[in-house]
Amino acid sequence: MQVALEGRTALVTGSTQGIGAAIAEGLAAAGARVAVNGRDARRTEEAVERLRGQVPDAQLLAAPGDLATDEGSAQVLDRLPDVDILVNNLGIFGSRPALEIEDEEWRRYFEVNVLTAVRLIRAYLPGMIGRGWGRVVNIASDSAVVIPAEMIHYGMTKTALLAVTRGFAKEAAGSGVTVNSVIAGPTHTAGVEEFVYELVDKDLPWEEAQRVFMRQYRPQSLLQRLIEPEEIANMVVYLSSPLASATTGGALRVDGGYVDSILP
């Protein structure tokens, strides 16, 4: 299969590093014009330059702005009033004992992990429907289905994102626009390395720390390793393409078999 996205414009939120950066690279390699987003303008420009080095002749632009704020959202929408592909990757996570999560933190997680996606879908979906083509991909998590005891506030937001996906897919029914979510499993990013070391011995070498983490905290994984960001990006690039025209309203798993279910 060959994925060709020439002539399409994509926005990947939270794409200066990690999974978002891998998705931006994958879409650019497939020919899309890709907008890289981050809160800090300098870091966003640096991410664009790195991506140019990874994908020769890539069509790229920086779209900095803190999407958790009205001002930052307006900044991004002014820079990029229309897109063909929207990838809602922005998210925060961290561990906290359940009874210690206070109201303010619950609200912050919901606003960053859910409401930013809702806001952008609301802004871009009408244009996609009017043009008769578009792709929305929301990056969810295995934590949406298997709620981790150490971060139920994060799990709650990813469950909500699955509902958001299904609801907006119905809004776009029959229009040529698809709306899907990707259930990403435990993935190897810089942020996850920090998270792992919050839970296991900080003196362990990384490879051993990863094995201990997977054995103690993610024993359901059939891969028995962390997923690489590029493996998540491959699914997103496919869903963003014409090849996935009959896939909508779905929650597609790239979880290494973590969720113990025979259904998506």
Residues annotated as catalytic (active site), given as ranges: 154
Rounded Cα–Cα distance for residues 157 and 140 (Å):
9
Rounded Cα–Cα distance for residues 228 and 204 (Å):
21
Rounded Cα–Cα distance for residues 93 and 195 (Å):
9
Strand-strand pairing, 33-36 and 59-62: parallel
Q: Edge to edge, what strands does the sheet with 9-12 contain?
A: 59-62, 33-36, 9-12, 85-88, 134-141, 177-184, 251-254
Per-residue tokens: 125: 């979906």
Rounded Cα–Cα distance for residues 196 and 213 (Å):
6
Instruction: Write the DSSP assignment of 55-66 as a string of letters.
Output: STT-EEEE----
Cα dihedral sign for 202, 230, 114, 81?
positive
